[in-house]
Chain A
Amino acid sequence: MHRYIWLVPLLPLVGAAINGLLGRKFRFSERLVSAVAVGSVALAFLISVAAVVNYGTTIWPKTYVTSDDGAFKYTWIPGGATEITEGLQERAEGETTKKASDEAGRVARERGTKPGEAVVVGVTHAPVRRGQGSVLDVEWSYQLDPLSSVFMLIVTGVGLCIFVFATGYMHGDRGFYRFFSYLGLFMFSMLILVMGSNFMMMFVGWEGVGLCSYLLIGYYFDRKEAGDASRKAFITNRVGDFGFALAVFGVIATFGTTQYTSVMSQASAFPIEIIGQWGIMSWIALGLFVGACGKSAQIPLYVWLPDAMAGPTPVSALIHAATMVTAGLYMLTRTNVIFQHSQAMMLVVAIIGALTALFAATIGITQNDIKKVLAYSTVSQLGFMFLACGVGAFVIGIFHVMTHAFFKALMFLGAGSVIHAMHHEQDMRRMGGLRKYMPKTYWTFFAGWLAICGVIPFAGFWSKDEILWNAASTEYFHSGWLLWLIATIAATCTAFYMTRLMALTFWGRERFLEVRAGGQADEAHAAAYDEGKAVHVAIDPSVADRPHHGPEERVGVAHVLEAEAVGEAEATDTRGHDVHDHHDPHEPAGHGQHPHGSVVPHESPPSMWVPLAVLAVLATVGGFVGISPAFAGGQHVGGRLNIVNWLDPVIWNPATGRFGKETSAEVTALEERNKSVAGREAVRQEGSREAPLPTESGEGHAEPPLPYGDTGFNLAHAVQGVLGGSHAAAEWFFIVVSLLAAGLGMGLGYLFYIRKPELPDLWAARLSSLYRASFNKYWIDELYGALFTRRTMDAARAVNAVDSKGIDGAVNGAAWLTRQLSRFTGATDRLVVDGAVNGVAGFIKLLMSPLLRAAQTGVAANYALVMILGLVAAVGLYFGKDILAAITGAR
């Protein structure tokens, strides 16, 4: 089945093409569009599962590339460099010949050799310099290895859930076919990104997902903030892509190929650059990291992700939580050889990751828009993943990608369900008590909440705990404990703001029945409304993420008047955002008759809560694929089904300089075994991969030291020493600490928002400067605006000034000069040339006209006379001499 993985990206593309190209023309019904989109993704998912199962049982741990056995291969960019090198060869030969003759001439001159005598000279052959990248052939083929298989499953599996959800969420939208076309195109690009076998294909996918992200953020393109957000995302990503492109050039220049397998095997032979050394590997890693920062929303390029929430909620779930933003993690892990060759870049990745985690988490605490909270939470969780990669635990980073995909997609979809039920209200201050109204959404969301907070045994716990442990025990650089501390604080913040989100949304009073302010999540407007300065009508009904319902939708004033006409009770106090969802058959009949005229939320249809349920199950049990060794007798149990063992073959081990975690002794043992047991089949044996892994041996720590020098104080080792040298005990210590951190965050959240609801305001006032900083997102947008956006505008204005004054001035000046010159020549022409011509004509006229006029008498006889005279003259001229001679001769 693994031979057919080329179908996996193709199917969503076909689905997208059908929907996008034919959907409008043939007015596809929503059912048809849904069937095409969901069907194509479901098929892709099934093929992925079959392919991965097949791969896992037969080929793993080796890498399978479709061009290897001819399953799918296409030379995408043929490097026509063969001719060039041939030319070089000839040129070199020519140069050598010339050199030889020159040398011979010189020698002959020096020795005074007579002509005809032979001179023997030795000339070193000029070497043909073949550029290292001169035979670059880029092929289009797919790679199936432990890493891409994990991503394939995440992308198609979580994607399938979100596709199904979107069919319910986008119901009634005018651009239904367009939405699913974009979404399918995104799936295609993302699958190209994770399944491609070389950097160029990754780049294609990278740009493709960027484009689709742009299209989908700006899906409601008639709204200014959606357009702004999409452009912001696109431009911010360009900054990152610039670095990525440079890194790819670096890869091509250094390794002469873009094929992962070749690059990685070459790269592992490069010397390691410790801090203080900065070589090509560090440069490439830096470029890749800049790209990853842009795509995965890390400091300093994270600003686009919160704004990207202007897109429809399924988009936020799929692209901006589960898949696209983890592309950076995919790239980091894919190129972990290169990163591990640069100690400085590992440190940078870890620091940026930890800072992003904390920074975004603190912002998330104070946001009121439910999607904004989730967006900052996503940025924060991505920071955790980067931290994991930075401290060398790439596998754990991918593990967190997976669990995060489950619970964050779940929470985004849950938020979408809430927003849908609340008629496109996104402000959590106008929610509350929704548990009663939408139990299915609540309980699934509950699972996601426990998962992200890191409560045992939900999925988030396993991955986050491993990240913290790896940060504390890292041997890649100094001060891992500081990163651990930052990450732990961030984890506490995460638990706190997620509890706050739960409390504000699902628990407590039903504030949507009380708050009279309108449906726009807009502070200033709400305040003005309270003071009676602004009437709440949905003049701009498109603030929230809200599907279009067509021109017949009843919004704002018109709706109020209409309702009054039919005597509806809600007319007096209609909330502006209250768009009637005519499409929803599950809407309670009592809708509209509430004393406050507000809407009563309702549970979402099955197409929306079934995906939620699936994701909730995954968020609950998904973590067991990476169960901590501390729980399992110090081993990564489960064989290749454990994600740590599964991904191990793609991770380079700096201690041994090979891929995989085996220590040198184990490698030697393995090799011997391979020699003794016939062929490579032994490698495939389960047992050989289950060779004792480094974390297993509690005491003695059999793992050889990493080649990054002495890294000084190590928190994990210190704790291990205090706890009597037991490795497992140290791990347990950190597990307890992280659980305590989660408990602290959740307890604080409960205290603040359930037990004593007056506390938030109190503390906000007490820490007002901090609160304002967090609430205003540390003014980073304003800072960037002042530093970059406005500077860019200034530069543009300066360029414009130069253009309009300088260049246009030169052009216009030249034109002016030409005009003046033409005036002068025009005058010259008129006066001198025409004057001369006219003067001559006038002179002739004056002189000749009386003569000629006199000749024309009009009397025929006169003309006849002239004729005769002319005849006589002619005859005289021709025969005059003869006549004269005749006369004289006769005489």
Chain B
Amino acid sequence: MILLWQDSALGRMSEGIQHPDLSKFLVIGALLFSIGVAGVLVRRNIIVIFMSIELILNAANLNFIAFSRYLQETGNVNAVAGQVFTVFIIVVAAAEAAIGLGLVIALYRNRGTVFVDKIDLLKW
């Protein structure tokens, strides 16, 4: 019975929900990454760009986790590097956000704007 259920399409679906396929995580990560990239490219407000960057980082985190879990599932119970890396990235992102927001505030104080198309200092 169980075997049958498992063979049925519904069974396969519930099985897929319970143990989602690696590719689904990767697709979601790719989508998150794309959204982040688009945000970075098209938004003017530097804070939004920051948030987009967070999206990109989290896309990466998702991939790390996914691969880590996948490896554990497939037998390598010690494959925790991806999870550790994720924790690192979260820490670094927090630090980056703190410094970045500080910079943004300093920038705003100096230039009176947070729009990146107004800040073309790299031209020089």
Contact = CB atoms under 8 A, between A and B. Distances in A.
10 contacts: A857-B123, A858-B121, A858-B122, A859-B116, A860-B116, A860-B122, A863-B122, A864-B40, A864-B41, A868-B41
Contacts of A859: 116-117, 119-120, 122
Contacts of B119: 858-860
Contacts, number: 30
A857 to B, nearest CB: 6
A858 B124 contact: yes
A856 interface: yes
Q: Which 4 A-B pairs have the closest CB atoms?
A: A858-B123, A858-B120, A858-B122, A859-B120
A722 to B, nearest CB: 136
Contacts of B97: none
Q: Chain A contact residues (Cβ within 8 angstroms of B): what range?
A: 10 to 19
A857 B122 CA distance: 8
Interface in A8-52: none
A798 B81 CA distance: 101
Contacts of B124: 858
Contacts of A856: 122-123
Interface in B15-47: 37, 40-42
Interface in A490-532: none
Contacts of A865: 41
B37 A857 contact: no
Q: Chain B contact residues (Cβ within 8 angstroms of A): what range?
A: 10 to 19
If over half of A's interface residues share one DSSP class (helix, strand or loop), that class is named, otherwise mixed; here it is: helix
Nearest to A860: B116
A865 B39 CA distance: 11
Contacts of A868: 37, 41
A889 to B, nearest CB: 14
A863 B122 CA distance: 10
A120 interface: no
Most buried by A among B42, B121, B122: B122
A861 interface: yes
Given A856-B122, A859-B117, A864-B40, 10 more contacts: A857-B120, A858-B120, A858-B124, A859-B116, A859-B119, A859-B120, A860-B119, A861-B42, A861-B49, A863-B122
Interface in B53-74: none
Contacts of A864: 40-41
B33 to A, nearest CB: 10
A864 B37 CA distance: 9
A113 B37 CA distance: 107
Nearest to B37: A868
Contacts of A861: 40-42, 49, 116-117
A860 B121 CA distance: 9
Interface in B98-122: 116-117, 119-122
A448 to B, nearest CB: 112
Nearest to A872: B37
Contacts of B116: 859-861
A865 B119 CA distance: 16
Contacts of B37: 868
A868 B40 CA distance: 10
Interface in A863-891: 863-865, 868
Contacts of B117: 859, 861
A868 B41 CA distance: 9
A860 B123 CA distance: 9
A856 B120 CA distance: 9
Nearest to A856: B123
A861 B116 CA distance: 7
Nearest to B46: A860
Nearest to A853: B123
Contacts of A863: 122
A262 to B, nearest CB: 102
Nearest to B38: A868
Interface string A835-853: 0000000000000000000
Contacts of B41: 861, 864-865, 868
Contacts of B121: 858
A434 B74 CA distance: 145
A865 B43 CA distance: 12
B118 to A, nearest CB: 9
Contacts of B123: 856-858
Contacts of A860: 116, 119, 122
A303 B17 CA distance: 138
A856 B123 CA distance: 6
A852 to B, nearest CB: 12
A859 B41 CA distance: 11
A126 to B, nearest CB: 96
Nearest to B42: A861
Contacts of B42: 861
A807 B79 CA distance: 93
B13 to A, nearest CB: 20
A865 B37 CA distance: 9
A650 to B, nearest CB: 110
Most buried by A among B41, B121, B124: B41
A856 B124 CA distance: 9
A473 B40 CA distance: 140
Contacts of A857: 120, 123
Contacts of A858: 119-124
A858 B120 CA distance: 4
Interface in A762-810: none
Contacts of B49: 861
A860 B45 CA distance: 12
A850 to B, nearest CB: 15
A873 to B, nearest CB: 14
Nearest to B124: A858
Most buried by B among A856, A857, A858, A859: A859
A860 to B, nearest CB: 5
Contacts of B40: 861, 864
Most buried by A among B42, B49, B120, B124: B120
Most buried by B among A857, A861, A863, A864: A861
A861 B117 CA distance: 8
A643 B117 CA distance: 131
A857 B117 CA distance: 9
A863 B40 CA distance: 11
A431 to B, nearest CB: 108
A477 B29 CA distance: 139
Nearest to B40: A864
A860 B37 CA distance: 13
Nearest to B120: A858
A688 B75 CA distance: 140
A861 B123 CA distance: 12
A863 B123 CA distance: 11
A858 B121 CA distance: 6
B73 to A, nearest CB: 23
B114 to A, nearest CB: 12
A856 B121 CA distance: 10
A825 B124 CA distance: 42
Nearest to A863: B122
A865 B40 CA distance: 9
A641 B6 CA distance: 159
A865 B38 CA distance: 9
B104 to A, nearest CB: 13
A306 to B, nearest CB: 98
A864 B122 CA distance: 12
